[in-house]
Structure 1
Amino acid sequence: MPLDKAKIKQSFAAAAVTYDGVAALQRIVGRALLGTIDTEKLAGTLLDLGCGTGFLTSELLGFAQPIVALDIALPMLQLTRTKLADTPNVSYLCADAEQLPLAGQVVDGVFSNLALQWCINLEAVFIDIKRVMKPGGRLVFSTFGPQTLQELKAAWADVDDYQHVNDFYSEQQLTRFLQLAGYTEIKIETKLYISNYGSVLALMKELKHIGAHNMIVGRNKNITTKTQMQRMIATYERHRTDDRVPATYEVIMVAAS
């Protein structure tokens, strides 16, 4: 997908101070992700890929150590380091998940919570993750599926032909990427989460504060006019029920080895 990696890095760096205040869904999904695996079997060195402000890192520390926390946005990584300042068995790497600065076969498992959707070439990412894992290592991750923010996407489609909402890979595409990368045991589970907001602007504000802006190369560079914004909101408002507007998030959870 034509994502702008520089914009991704900038957006999540800028959102570091507001992320924890609006990341309820990320925490819910992170706990659900851990619930899909046998945590009693967690052992050895684990890589938290796209650690953000350290929620999953902190959770993983309850099961296994040491942990390598990696994120593309330095302010996010610094927040994780501050939170876990009293924890000795965590190391920190500011790096791109698509260019892992790790030697081969150095981690026993890789975990990633709602981060890999910001990678451009997932097949290459999966290959590199397999490179850094020891034989028998397991990749466990969550990512967004194509139904995510479908209401917002449809509302913008009523305004113009530009892409305002990121596309996300499907279960079938993820399975194919993993198979091409050499994974043979693949378990996938998909669940829809519905978040409700007082207004469409409240949803958009949350997306900004979490860092999940539109990050597509070649998107409309023109300033959205007040009329366009009002039209989009009016279209979205057709979904309102019980004084709330919904936003769909399709979450795909994967375990592969």
Structure 2
Amino acid sequence: MSAVFELDKTKLRESFGSASLSYDRVAGLQRTVGINLLQRVAPAQLTGTVVDLGCGTGFLTKSLLDAENVERIVALDIALPMLHAARQKLGDTGRLHYVCGDAESPPLNTNSVDTVVSNLALQWCRDLTAVFCGLHRILKADGELVFSTFGPHTLCELKQAWAAVDDYHHVNEFYRETEIRRCLADAGFKEIAVQSEIYRPVYGSVLALMKELKSMGAHNVSSGRNKRLTTKQEMTSMIEAYPLNDANIEATFEVFIVSARVENND
């Protein structure tokens, strides 16, 4: 698998935009991962300008606002409705700036950012090397990038179930650790560290899992997806093929927490 995914960016923007109203009700996994990410970031130690990349409705941004030494916070998201939801929640403060933009070409000045944090957003980017090059550009010397992202074992049960039905890509693909490390190194990052964790939440039904994925905006947006409506029989066959664990419907989410730094040439 290359480090360029065939994602429909228009579909992606629409997907997360339409999910903005339901996101907070169902994004329990994002919050759990975000809390773990904040432990790695240590907001109290942050200074200068911090970017929350793919801020969504502002869960991570709110914690960054509590960091007294942070002078400027940029909440950046590709979906304007997500930014509206974040603004309604957090309001307007002198330190907080909302920016609608693409992570693959962040509309920020070169060498203007001290830290970039991102919680479960970069897996939706098509070209990971382009993303990291853009972030390397905006970060200052010795600046740090800390992010969480899904790994390739994510939703393996759902992939297995759909594979019993047809050959379409019903579930998004996610980057391997080796690809993430290589793309970071190619972009010029140093001191790359990756931690892997597995989460297996339990759902009341396969349909409940799929409804939650859609409510988070995280359903399939690959260009190789089946673009016709799934039939009732196909859906039934997929549900019957979904693997159970002691009669429980679990979904695997593999999460990487990654940190990397821009080299200080002083």
Q: TM-score range by the shorter chain?
A: over 0.9
Query: Which residue in the other structure is 1:205 paired with?
Result: 211
Which of 58, 63, 83 does residue 59 from structure 1 map onto?
Answer: 63
The CA deviation string for residues 76-105 of structure 1, in whole angstroms up to 9 with x for no partner, is: 001111111153310011111112111101
> Hey, what does 1:250 align to over in structure 2?
254
Q: Displaced runs of 4+ in structure 1, greater than 3 A?
A: 37-40
Aligned residue type for 2:11 = K
Q: CA deviation at 1:59?
A: 1.0
Q: Which whole-Å deviations, capped at 9, do the CAs of 1:44-63 have from their partners, x for residues lacking one?
A: 11000000000000011112
- Pair 1:107-2:110 in alignment: no
Q: TM-score with structure 1 length normalisation?
A: 0.96
Q: 2:228 corresponds to which residue?
A: 222
- 1:163 matched to 2:169? The reply is yes
The offset of 1:65, in angstroms, is: 3.5
Deviation of the 1:10 alpha carbon: 0.2
Distance 1:204 1:169 in 2: 21
What letter corresponds to residue 82 of structure 1 in structure 2? Q
Between 156-165 and 31-40, the greater mean CA deviation after superposition: 31-40
Unaligned runs of 5+ in 2: 262-266
Moved more, 4-13 or 84-93: 84-93
* Aligned partner of residue 252 in structure 2, secondary structure: strand
| Aligned mates of 2:15, 2:171 — CA distance in 1 | 15
Query: Residues 116-169 of structure 1: CA distance to partner in whole angstroms, max 9, x if unpaired?
Result: 001111111101101101111000000000000000000000000111000000
Q: Distance in 2 between matches of 1:87 and 1:102?
A: 19
* Selected match of 2:145 from 126, 139, 148: 139
Q: What root-mean-square deviation, in Å, do the aligned CA atoms of Structure 1 and Structure 2 show? A: 1.1
SS of the equivalent of 2:57 reads: coil
Tell me, in whole angstroms, the C-alpha distance in 1 between the residues paired with 2:177 and 2:96.
Answer: 32
Query: In structure 2, what is the equivalent of residue 239 of structure 1?
Result: 244
The unaligned stretches of length 5 or more in structure 1 are: none
Report the Cα offset of residue 40 of structure 1: 3.7
Distance 1:70 1:120 in 2: 17
**Counterpart position of 1:4:** 8
d(CA) in 1 for partners of 2:64 and 2:135? 18
2:181 aligns to what? 175
- In the alignment, what sits opposite 2:36? 32
Letter in 1 for 2:195: E
State whether structure 2 residue 98 is matched by structure 1 residue 79: no
AA in 1 matched with 2:56: G
Q: Partners of 1:34 and 1:45 in 2: how far apart? A: 16
Cα contact 2:169–2:224 (8 A) shared by 1: no
Aligned to 2:25: 21
| Separation in 1, partners of 2:240, 2:246 | 14
Identity of aligned residues (%): 55
Per-residue CA distance 1:156-209 (angstroms, 9 max, x = gap): 000001110000001111000001111111111000001110100000000010
CA distance in 2, matches of 1:38, 1:74: 28
The count of aligned residue pairs is 255
